[in-house]
């Protein structure tokens, strides 16, 4: 089994002790099959137990291990050490306040996600005994790629609009809103309209596409947001021509 020393340069910040963040470098004997998350776990277990970072599944499912790895938003459990150089820089996700070391505050995202009402709002509520809301495989195909989001926030760290405009609802929350708006079982457009298409909504997106480039689940937020702009335009003109109408 090949083991190679790597220099892992980690951003450290303890708000109770540090005035500003600083870098600390650790020498880690990395095994061939290790991912960056394994190197961080080694540091925590063997070198400095105070190093703080989030993770849960170690299999690119839970979305909690997002970090900047060599300046790119990345799931650290999916980033093989062997694909990087001898020195690897690891920082918390960009565009979010740091809580401690590699842990960011997700409060802004959670508030926006909640405002977007990302759940099925049916035209007629069914009781449990009525059975599930059903849809055909073709109806699912229309939205399937946009349903795979794991809320890892890599797209927010990559988004140049979110970096500058804090009111921007952002890629993941808008994609989830689009995903439910477009769901054949949903009738919640009116309840989502203001957040989705108003100030901070889809029209703030400048279609750079960085969100889709970094998305580890190929959710295509950039595409969902552009499709959302189309829906919003149709809704606007429909209501303009037929007051009381709309999507």
If binding is defined by CB under 6 A, does position 67 make contact with ligand FES? no
How many positions of this chain bind ligand FES (CB under 6 A)? Answer: 12
Nearer to ligand FES, 44 or 58 (CB): 58
If binding is defined by CB under 6 A, does position 239 make contact with ligand FES? no
Nearer to ligand FES, 65 or 113 (CB): 65
Query: Contact at 8 Å (CB) between 171 and 211?
Result: yes
Q: Which of 77, 90, 174, 225 binds ligand FES (CB under 6 A)?
A: 77
Nearer to ligand FES, 62 or 187 (CB): 62
Task: Tell me the per-residue interface mask from 36 to 55 with ligand FES, x by CB under 6 A, - otherwise.
Answer: -------------------x
Full DSSP string of 155-186? HHHH-HHHHH-TT---HHHHHHHHHHHT-TT-
CA distance 163 to 129: 47
Full DSSP string of 14-43? -TTT-SS-EEEEEEEEEETT-BHHHHHHHI
If binding is defined by CB under 6 A, does position 157 make contact with ligand FES? no
If binding is defined by CB under 6 A, does position 102 make contact with ligand FES? no
Q: Which of 62, 103, 182, 187 binds ligand FES (CB under 6 A)?
A: 62
Nearby residues of 26 by Cβ (< 8 Å), 6 or more positions away: 7, 8, 10, 43, 47, 48
If binding is defined by CB under 6 A, does position 64 make contact with ligand FES? yes
If binding is defined by CB under 6 A, does position 105 make contact with ligand FES? no
Classify 70 as helix, strand or coil. Answer: coil
Alpha helices by DSSP H, 96-209: 107-115, 137-143, 154-158, 160-164, 171-181, 189-197
Q: Is 212 left (phi over 0), alpha (psi -120 to 50) or beta?
A: alpha
Pick the stretch among 5-13, 60-68, 80-88, 169-177 that binds ligand FES (CB under 6 A): 60-68
If binding is defined by CB under 6 A, does position 57 make contact with ligand FES? yes
Nearer to ligand FES, 60 or 148 (CB): 60
Binding region for ligand FES (CB under 6 A): 55-58, 60-65, 75, 77
């Amino acid at each position: 089994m090949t083991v190679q020393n790597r220099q892992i340069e980690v951003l450290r910040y303890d708000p109770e002790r540090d005035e500003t963040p600083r870098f600390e470098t650790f020498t880690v004997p990395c095994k061939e099959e290790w991912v960056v998350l394994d190197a961080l776990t080694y540091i925590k277990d063997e070198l400095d137990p105070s190093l703080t970072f989030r993770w849960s599944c170690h299999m690119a499912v839970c979305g909690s291990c997002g970090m900047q790895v060599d300046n790119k938003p990345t799931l650290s459990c999916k980033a093989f050490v062997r694909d990087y150089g001898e020195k690897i820089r690891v920082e918390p996700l960009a565009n979010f306040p740091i809580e401690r070391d590699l842990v960011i505050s997700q409060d802004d995202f959670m508030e926006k996600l909640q405002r977007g009402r990302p759940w099925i709002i049916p035209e007629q509520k069914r009781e449990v005994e009525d059975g599930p809301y059903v849809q055909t495989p073709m109806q699912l195909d229309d939205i399937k790629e946009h349903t795979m989001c794991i809320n890892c926030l890599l797209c927010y760290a990559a988004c140049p609009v979110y970096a500058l405009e804090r009111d921007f609802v952002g890629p993941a929350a808008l994609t989830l809103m689009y995903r439910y708006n477009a769901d054949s079982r949903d009738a919640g457009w009116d309840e989502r309209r203001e957040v989705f298409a108003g100030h901070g909504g889809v029209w703030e997106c400048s279609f750079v596409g960085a969100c889709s480039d970094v998305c580890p689940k190929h959710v295509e937020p950039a595409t969902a947001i552009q499709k959302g702009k189309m829906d919003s335009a149709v809704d606007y003109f429909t209501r303009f021509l037929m007051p009381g109408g709309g999507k």
